[in-house]
Amino acid sequence: MATNSKHAGGEDLPEDPADLLPENSALSLEDYLAMHAAIGNRTRYEIVYRLVHSGDMSPTELVKAIDIDDSTLHYHLNKLVDVGLIAKRQRTERGQDGLYTYYRATIFGKTVLSEGVDELIRGEHEFEEMYSSSTDQ
Looking at residues 27-43, what average pLDDT do you find? Answer: 89
Residue 86 lies in a domain: yes
Q: pLDDT confidence of 8, banded at 50, 70, 90?
A: low
What pLDDT, in 10s, does the model give residues 74-123? 999 999 999 999 999 987 766 666 778 999 999 999 988 888 766 767 77
CATH number at residue 45: 1.10.10.10
**Domain encompassing residue 41:** 25-135
Query: How many structural domains comprise the chain?
Result: 1
Residue 16 lies in a domain: no
Q: How far apart are CA 10 and CA 123, in angstroms?
A: 23
- Please, which residues have CB within 8 angstroms of residue 49's CB and are 6 or more apart in sequence? 113
Q: pTM for this structure?
A: 0.74
CA-based diameter of the chain, in Å?
67
Query: Judging by beta carbons within 10 Å of its beta carbon (0-12, 13-18, 19+), is residue 49 exposed, middle or buried?
Result: middle
